[in-house]
Structure 1
């Protein structure tokens, strides 16, 4: 349930974020609030992760600074006290119906496709790759956005061209791979491997392609500890892997087809700790 915020009217809730518009009727600004909600396997869980919304917001703001050459949607962090630290006032964008994903390593859904067809999003890859293999060069592997509770669907670059046209498709691909390459180098300098990431773009009211939503957080990216990196198996990650692992364990008793159970306190705390550690190691700042 979205909270009441004086001066703002709630207009949308996603898995994690709530959007508000000014009650005054201005239509060029939105208040983007990151909650402490957490999702797994396309379910929004009843349990929340304390401070998760603050970590996501503060880390996104830090990355927007590092990617200053890419236009982004942030206008101000001067937000109502009720959501201080977890919200941004942003440009209202017309979002593209595409999740822009860059993969520098083979894992997740890409690994599953590779094992079946030696491709990822129909892009051919060499033989002999394993879980965690570094790719010769990063891949742009888009997906079509799904409604909350549905699975995003991997699509080909040609499908993006069909949706958006040659020029826009090429721009999104170039921006996505440029962001990945810049962020991968920054993370590597801090002892973290950026395996893959998802970014989203939209058009501003002036027609400029603009980076929106969150960017390079543990919710939208796979971050691995470089010291523990070992291809051929699943890598420990700075995200909600504790949640996924517990849900699929015998202890949870979850059948995968119904609302997941509440998380144990230790899983909540371990997940919070991983989000905070990702923030602190990447930014070099202490999370307060």
Structure 2
């Protein structure tokens, strides 16, 4: 993230990949381009639901000195409007997986929401749920209830974020389903801008990408266990297989894991957008 001026920032997505809160030593080629170009796609697709912070993804339109670095920035950078980021992450879950599944196994709830008994891992939920989380500077984000989120940022703001989160998830999940992808869950982030004395919530960061979402191939979905995916779960599975203790030093990824992860990211982009990844 680079400061451009008082009103703008420049986001640059690298090819680095993290797992279990540590950045790995191996990069995934084209990953940064997938995240940037897929976010740009979704920003353009969801303006009827909420305004967003994207200004341009064309380096030719960036202010100097950034416009002098087109080769480096092309395809993996985004000029965005500055906002005051809201201090919670907004997660929508349509399926029971990840930390939601772990919590459900303990008490039958996810973020204070009571779910039906007898659900299995990866089951589709009766309806999508809103499960906020705190933003951690280091370590894991912490899942919290709506009421806990309300104490942090106010109940009225939480209610507005919940509506936006579930509307965005419904739109994205429906589109993805038509392309053969299940969006099991996803994370949105929002900021506030004040223009002419009026506060407005806008969508920021990345949107419905393999880094912020759990993408499953619909034709391989079988409830009752982990699912194959188009996201970095493939890397996590490899790290679990080699029994990494999740502490430094971080392991290097084998060439086949890197290549397969790259292919999964690009396939997700191509399926969702009907476009080839730009250079």
TM-score range, shorter chain: over 0.9
Q: Over the residues paired in the alignment, what is the CA RMSD in angstroms?
A: 1.1
1:76 aligns with 2:56: yes
Cα distance in 2 for partners of 1:30, 1:255 equals 36
1:91 aligns with 2:81: yes
Report the count of equivalent residues.
264
Structure 2 stretches lacking a partner, 5+ long:
60-66
Cα distance in 2 for partners of 1:242, 1:161 equals 35
TM-score (norm 2): 0.92
2:104 alignment partner, one of 109, 114, 120:
114
Cα distance in 2 for partners of 1:115, 1:128 equals 10
Residue in structure 2 matched with residue 226 of structure 1 by the alignment: 218
1:154 aligns with 2:143: yes
1:119-143 superposed Cα distances (whole Å, 9 cap, x missing partner): 0011101111001111111000010
1:102 aligns with 2:92: yes
Cα distance in 2 for partners of 1:264, 1:177 equals 38
Cα distance in 2 for partners of 1:112, 1:145 equals 20
Residue in structure 1 matched with residue 63 of structure 2 by the alignment: none
SS in structure 1 of the partner of residue 126 of structure 2: strand
Residue in structure 1 matched with residue 113 of structure 2 by the alignment: 123
Q: Which has the higher relative contact order, 1 or 2, with Cα contacts under 8 A spaced 6 or more apart?
A: 2
Whether the 8 Å contact between 2:87 and 2:153 is mirrored in structure 1 is no
Residue in structure 1 matched with residue 64 of structure 2 by the alignment: none
Residue in structure 2 matched with residue 180 of structure 1 by the alignment: 169
Structure 1 stretches lacking a partner, 5+ long:
1-18
Whether the 8 Å contact between 1:104 and 1:135 is mirrored in structure 2 is yes
1:28-52 superposed Cα distances (whole Å, 9 cap, x missing partner): 1000111111000110111110110
Cα distance in 2 for partners of 1:115, 1:187 equals 28
Residue in structure 1 matched with residue 20 of structure 2 by the alignment: 41
1:20 aligns with 2:10: no
TM-score (norm 1): 0.89
Cα distance in 1 for partners of 2:19, 2:271 equals 24
1:248 aligns with 2:230: no
SS in structure 2 of the partner of residue 153 of structure 1: coil
Cα distance in 2 for partners of 1:89, 1:147 equals 23
Q: Displacement of 1:245 after TM fit?
A: 1.4
Cα distance in 1 for partners of 2:52, 2:110 equals 29
Cα distance in 2 for partners of 1:205, 1:47 equals 40
SS in structure 1 of the partner of residue 209 of structure 2: coil
1:65 alignment partner, one of 44, 48, 55:
44
Cα distance in 2 for partners of 1:208, 1:71 equals 9
Q: Displacement of 1:260 after TM fit?
A: 1.5
